[in-house]
Structure 1
Amino acid sequence: MYITISPQKTGGAFPKSSAGFVSYLEKENEGKSLENQEFFFNQEEDRVDPETVIQEIDGNTAKLKSSEPKFYSVTLNPSAYELKNVQSNEQLKAYTREVMKAYAQSFNRDIDGRPVNVNDLKYFAKLETQRTYKGTDWKIKENQPYATRILKLKNEMRRIRQGEQSGNLKSLQQQMDKLEREAPHQLNGQRITQGMPKEGNQAHIHIIISRKDASNRYSLSPGSKYKASQVVMNGKMVQRGFDRDHFFKQAEKVFDQKFGYRRNFVESYQARKMFLQQPKNYLQQLAKLPTPEKRIAFRMLRAAGLPNLPSIPTNKVQLALKTFKSLKRGVEIALKSGSIGI
C-alpha cells in the first residue's frame, strides 16, 4: 500500500478555492454519460457531485490565513498484489471509510472534551481506475536511452526531408523501427512512453479533506510538524500533533483484516521504515526470510523496478559483504516506485 498525505500546494499563498483540484479529480468522467460516471463519496453519502464538494470545502475555512492550506489530499494506492484480494470497487470504497476512522483517531487532540472521530472530518473521496506512465516510472527510465536515440533519428530524418542534409531515409527508418522493438519495456507491442495508460487493475482513491473540522471551529492538520505530544499554551495543557505512524500502520492493518491479505515483509510499513532508518537491518531481515517468502519478496521488488537484481543471498554475511551497496540502491528505487511501502 502506498499512501500519501500532501497539502493543497507548497509555497506561497494558497488558492482560495478547491475548484482546480476537484476539476482534476473529475478527469476520468470526461465524455462519460451520467450513469457511467464515478461520484465523490464520504462517510455517509455515495453520490456527491463536484459542485457540492467545492462548496463544502471552500465554505469550511474560517480563520485560515492565506499562507495556510485550506485542505489536504490523501491518496490510497493499493499494489497489484493487494488489488487481487479486492473483489469490487465498492469494497475499496468501504475500506476507504475505515481508513478515515483511523485518520481521525491519529489526531492527538480533543474536540469538546472528547477525542477526534470520523464525524469531525469534512472529506470527500473519489475512486479512479486509470493511471498513466510518468517520467519518474522505472520502465520509462529504462526505455529512455532508446527514446533518446529514436528522437535523434527522427530529427535527422526531418532535416533530410527539409533538404538541410543528405541521407538514406529508409535506412534511418529501419534503425528507428529496430530500436522501437528492442526497448526493454513494451505494452501491446509498443514501446512504453510517458502518457501511455498503465496495464492491469489501477484502482486507487483520492481524498480531499478540509483543514478545518466539520464544525468549522478547529484546525485538523495532518501536516503538523508535531508528533502526538502535549504543550502548555496560555497556562493550559494542550494536546497537539498527528501520529503518522499510527495512521499508516492502521491503514495497513485494516486492509489485511478486511481482505484476508497475507502481507509480505517488503510490503509492510514497518519494513519500509526499517529500510529508511536501518538499511543493513532491513537487508539482513530480508535475507532471513523463509525461502518461499524470500522469493515472493524479491519478485515484488523486481516488479517494482529493482534494477540489476543479484541472485537471492543465502545468508546475511553474503548479503552484507557482497550485495549490500547495489541491493540497497536498488531497493530504494523500488520502494520509491509507489508499488511498495507507505
Structure 2
Amino acid sequence: MYIAISKQHQGENFSGSVRDFVNYLEKENQEQSLEQHEYFFDQNNDRINAEEVIKEIDNNTTKLNKKDSKFYSMVVSPSQSELKAIDNDPEKLRQYVREMMKDYAASFYRNKAVTVNDIKYYAKIEKERTYKGTDKEIRENQPYATKILELKKEIRQIEQGKSKEQIKTIKKEIERLEREAPHKIDGKRIVRDMKKEGMQNHIHIIVSHKDVTNTFKLSPLSQHKEAETILNGKTIKQGFNRDKFYEAAEKTFDRTFNYKRNFMESYKARNVLDKDPKRFLAMIAGLPTTEKQVALKTLYKAGVKVPTIPTNKVQLAYKALMRLKRGVETAINSGSIGI
C-alpha cells in the first residue's frame, strides 16, 4: 500500500479553485458512457458530482490566507497483490477508504479528539495508470528508444538525392530495435504515458484544509507530530502523526480483508530503509526462511541487487547500502514493489 499526501499547488499562493484538479480527476469519465462514469464519494454518499465537490471545497475556506492550502491531495495506491486479494472490487475500495479516513482523523493531535465526522473529503476511484520515467520498463527500454530516435532523425536528414536503399537499411535497424526492446504490450514497445496492464485501481482523495464546520484547520502536512504550546495559560495541542496514519491504514486493510502482509510490503520496511539501510538489510536476514525468500524474490523481480556487506571495508559497505536504498526507492516509486 502506497499513500502519498501533497498540498494544493497553485504557484506562489493557494488562492485558486479546486476546479482544475477536479477536472483532471474527471479525465477517465470523458472516455466513458454516462452509465460507466465513476462518481466522487465521501463517508456517507456514493454518487457526488464534480460541481458539488468544487462548490463544497471552495466554500470551506474561511480565514485561510494566500499562504494556506485550500485542500490536500491524497493518493492511495494498493499493490497488485492487495488488489488481487479484494478481486479489484471498487465497492471494497470504497469500504476501505471510509475505514482508512477514520485512521486519518485519529492521527491529528488536538485537545478534542478529531473524528472522521470532522473531516470534509471527497474520493474518486481511477482504474488506469500510465508508465512514468521512473518505471523499470521505461528505464530498461530507454537505450532502444534513444537509438530509434536517432535513426528516425537520420532518416529525416537524408537528402532527397540519397539512395532509397540507405533509408530501407535504417528502417530495418529501427524494426530490429523495436523487436529487441525488452518490455512490450501487445507487441509494442512500452513508452511513457502508455497505459499499464493488469489491475490498476487506485484512489484520489481531496481533503479540505478546514474541518467540516469551516471552523479550524486540519493539516496532514504539519511539521509537528504531537506538539504542545501554552496560550493564555491553556495547553494547546497540535500536529499530525503521519507514521501513525500510514501504519494504521495498512493494518486497517489487513484487518478488513484478512490480508497476510509480508515484510517487503510493509510501511515498516520502507520506514527503516529511509532511516537505516543497514538495519533494513539485517531485518531481511533475520526473517524466517519462507518470509526471507519472499522478500529476496520481491527485490529480485523489481530489479534490485542485494549487496553482500563487507564487514572490514566501511566505505565500501556504505556505498553498497546506498545503492540498495536507491534501488528499493526507485522500485517503490515505480510500483515494482507494493509498499
Compute the TM-score of the two structures, normalised by the length of structure 1: 0.91
**Which residue pairs with 1:143 in the alignment?**
141
Alignment of 1:1-342 (within 5 A): 1-9=1-9, 12-87=12-87, 88-110=89-111, 114-160=112-158, 168-303=166-301, 305-307=302-304, 309=305, 324=321, 326-340=323-337
Q: Which moved more, 1:256-265 or 1:226-235?
A: 226-235
Distance 1:166 1:62, change over 3 A: same
SS in structure 2 opposite 1:30?
A: helix
Task: Give the Cα–Cα distance (whole angstroms) in 1 for the partners of residues 120 and 162 of structure 2.
Answer: 62
**How much does 1:245 deviate?**
1.1
**How much does 1:9 deviate?**
1.4
SS in structure 2 opposite 1:27?
A: coil
Q: Which moved more, 1:14-23 or 1:94-103?
A: 14-23
**How much does 1:182 deviate?**
1.4
Asked if structure 1 preserves the Cα contact closer than 8 Å seen for 2:277 and 2:322, the reply is no
**Cα deviations across residues 18-70 of structure 1 (Å, max 9, x unaligned)?**
00000000011003222110000000000000000000000000000011100
The one-letter code of the counterpart of 1:23 is N
| Number of matched pairs | 334
Task: Give the Cα–Cα distance (whole angstroms) in 2 for the partners of residues 135 and 161 of structure 1.
Answer: 34
Identical-pair percentage: 50
Asked if structure 2 preserves the Cα contact closer than 8 Å seen for 1:287 and 1:316, the reply is no
SS in structure 1 opposite 2:279?
A: helix
Asked if structure 2 preserves the Cα contact closer than 8 Å seen for 1:228 and 1:239, the reply is yes
Task: Give the Cα–Cα distance (whole angstroms) in 1 for the partners of residues 257 and 182 of structure 2.
Answer: 34
The one-letter code of the counterpart of 2:25 is L
The one-letter code of the counterpart of 1:25 is L
Q: Which runs of 5+ in 1 are unaligned?
A: none
Asked if structure 2 preserves the Cα contact closer than 8 Å seen for 1:2 and 1:339, the reply is no
Distance 1:164 1:136, change over 3 A: farther
Q: Which moved more, 1:46-55 or 1:235-244?
A: 235-244
**How much does 1:164 deviate?**
8.2
Task: Give the Cα–Cα distance (whole angstroms) in 1 for the partners of residues 114 and 78 of structure 2.
Answer: 26
The one-letter code of the counterpart of 1:126 is K
SS in structure 1 opposite 2:225?
A: coil
**How much does 1:301 deviate?**
2.6
Compute the TM-score of the two structures, normalised by the length of structure 2: 0.92
Q: CA RMSD in A?
A: 2.4
The one-letter code of the counterpart of 1:20 is D
Asked if structure 1 preserves the Cα contact closer than 8 Å seen for 2:14 and 2:70, the reply is yes
**How much does 1:316 deviate?**
9.9
Asked if structure 2 preserves the Cα contact closer than 8 Å seen for 1:160 and 1:166, the reply is no
